[in-house]
Amino acid sequence: MSDASGELYRRATTLLPGGVNSPVRAMRAIGRDPIFIERGEGAELVDVDGNRYVDWVCSWGPLIAGHAHPDVVSAIGQAAAAGTSYGAPTAGEVELAAEIVDRVPSVEMVRMTSSGTEATMTAVRLARAVTGRDVILKFAGAYHGHVDGLLAEAGSGLATQGIPASPGVTAAAAADTRVVAWNDRAAVEQTLAQRPVAAILAEPYPGNMGVVGPEPGFLEFLRAAADDCGALLVFDEVISGFRVARGGAQERERVHPDLTALGKVIGGGLPAAALGGPRALMERLAPAGEVYQAGTLSGNPLAVAAGRATLALLDEEAYTRLAQTTEAIVAALREGAAEAGAAVQIQSVPGLFTVFFSPEPVRDYAGAQRCDLTAHGRFCRALLERGVYPPPSQFEAWFPSLAHEDRHLEQTATAAAEAFREATGT
């Protein structure tokens, strides 16, 4: 049996810290080495040893249309042939901005960046400039990119690696962050009463501690709480934007934030993200206003072309299909878990779900941390052995795409029925 992945990983560990360029890819949390990928085709991945997998990660969200969608590939090719970057404005970025504004209810203007991290970093800077306040309220288990001040009790890779914050973040950078339990109204009120807060920053549908939805009324409560104390409400829709609905979680929940961070889907697999909001706030950014923000590759023509081609595929029918795919796979996994007697909670919103190895519903980060990580690790390893590639961490979401077909769901359900038995030792 060839082991090209193993050989590449050994070489990678001599050249890249941990052998990877982003921690969760290392698969340490599920007790195995990473798989090196050769190519993606629709909802499938092919690794360097020729193994084929049903892909439920889809690059952690950007690939809502699957790998190498012909429309996206051709848009990138055409853009590349005309030059890859100019450092000057283009028509494409104006059209992408118009599409975002048309979709996302609270957004009138956007500033594009190359990563979600930059989008949330800009949101924080803008919120502080607008309010003249320093403190940011964030939720435990929410991930907003690797911004120094936002790493406190962040989910995603930090949760996966068991890192509470990060060495190298100064006390000063962390001092203005207040971390509160998700879905905990009293804790929010208490924090807002202590010091003036510039922004309440939330993933409206948290996906980075696994999928832990807001309890009924919680987002409305955050909107009212922010208004009462003069803070901005910032939604980080880097995952939920253009995925859970045409206009993101804010459209689905009818709660409109002041600022919105977007990413992942809007780059269609290339590096693009954005911050959006009403004109009065957005025009505080340079050069319209005095709040500095910039980027050599921001609004990159290839990323803009990939993003526009991807959004063009996302009509109402596409969202209906994505929701149906999500429901179908969730139902199949629930059935497999029940038959195996596995104590799991499958928590979902359209286009996202997590299989929590927990006997009770997960409502916050503490609940996610109580999951049986050993059983989860066994489950993921068993899936991989059967040609199904799940997110290799308990604290992440599965990402259904428009490329997942019935046969992918069937293969996943069959593999999962066995994997649940292996996970629980039955």
Ligand X SMILES: *Cc1c(COP(=O)(O)O)cnc(C)c1O
Interactions with ligand X, residue window 51-80 (CB under 6 A):
none
Say which amino acid occupies 397.
A
47 versus 236: smaller Cβ distance to ligand X: 236
Q: Which residues of 182-213 are buried (b: 16+ CB within 10 A; e: fewer)?
A: bbbeebbeebbeeeebbbbbbbbbbbbbbbbb
For residue 145, state whether it binds ligand X (rule: CB under 6 A): yes
Give ∠ CA 376-32-158 in degrees, rounded to 5: 65
Q: How far is the CB of 402 from ligand X (least distance, A)?
A: 20
Q: Tell me the DSSP string of 325-338.
A: HHHHHHHHHHHHHH
**Binding footprint of ligand X, residue count (CB under 6 A):** 14
Round to whole Å and give the CA distance between 389 and 397. Answer: 12
Take residue 334 and report the two structure tokens written for it: 């629930």
**Quick one: which of 358, 365, 362 has its CA closest to 156?**
365
| Number of residues that this document lists for the chain | 426
Q: How far is the CB of 146 from ligand X (least distance, A)?
A: 7
Question: Contacts with ligand X in 147-186 (CB under 6 A)?
Answer: none
Residue ranges of E strands in 244-364: 259-262, 273-277, 345-349, 352-356
Query: How many contiguous H segments (helices) and E segments (strands) does the chain have?
Result: 15, 13
Q: Residue 266: which of 295, 234, 297, 237 has the closest Cα?
A: 237
Contact call for residues 326 and 400 (beta carbons, < 8 A): yes
Angle separating helix axes 301-313 and 70-81, nearest 10 degrees = 150
Site string for ligand X, 249-288 (x = CB under 6 A): --------------x---------x---------------
**Out of 53, 138, 264, 319, which one is annotated catalytic?**
264
Residue 261: CB minimum distance to ligand X, A: 6
Q: Does the active-site annotation cover 143? A: yes
Nearer to ligand X, 93 or 236 (CB): 236
Three-state secondary-structure class, residue 375: helix
Among 191, 208, 345, 424, binds ligand X (CB under 6 A): 208
Determine if 337 is a binding residue for ligand X (CB under 6 A): no
Marked catalytic residue, from 55, 236, 258, 364: 236
Active site residue 319: no
Nearest distance in Å: CB 109, ligand X: 20
* Cβ at position 280, least distance to ligand X in Å: 24
Residues 125-144 that bind ligand X (CB under 6 A): 143-144
- Given 9, 53, 143, 389, the catalytic residue: 143
Is 345 a residue that touches ligand X (CB under 6 A)?
Answer: no
Closest CA to 306 of 76, 108, 19, 61: 76
Q: Which of residues 231-250 bind ligand X (CB under 6 A)?
A: 236, 238-239
Q: What are phi and psi of 222, to 5 degrees?
A: -65, -40
Give whichever of 158 and 416 is closer to ligand X, judged by the CB atom. 158
Q: Which residue is nearest to ligand X (CB)?
A: 116
Closer CB to ligand X, residue 109 or residue 303? 303
Task: Provide the minimum distance between the beta carbon of 121 and ligand X in the complex, in angstroms, as a whole number.
Answer: 9
Q: Going by C-beta distance under 8 Å and a sequence separation of 6 or more, which residues neighbour residue 369?
A: 159
CA 273 vs. chain centroid, Å, equals 12
Residues 79-118 that bind ligand X (CB under 6 A): 115-117
Indicate if 138 belongs to the active site: no
Position among 44, 55, 99, 203 found at the interface with ligand X (CB under 6 A):
203
Q: Pick between residue 34 and residue 336 the one whose CB is nearest to ligand X.
A: 34
Shortest Å distance, C-beta 120 to ligand X: 6
* Residue among 5, 90, 120, 293 that touches ligand X (CB under 6 A): 120
8 A C-beta contact, residue 413 and residue 331: no
Interface residue list for ligand X (CB under 6 A): 115-117, 120, 143-145, 203, 208, 236, 238-239, 263, 273
Residue numbers annotated as active site: 143, 236, 264
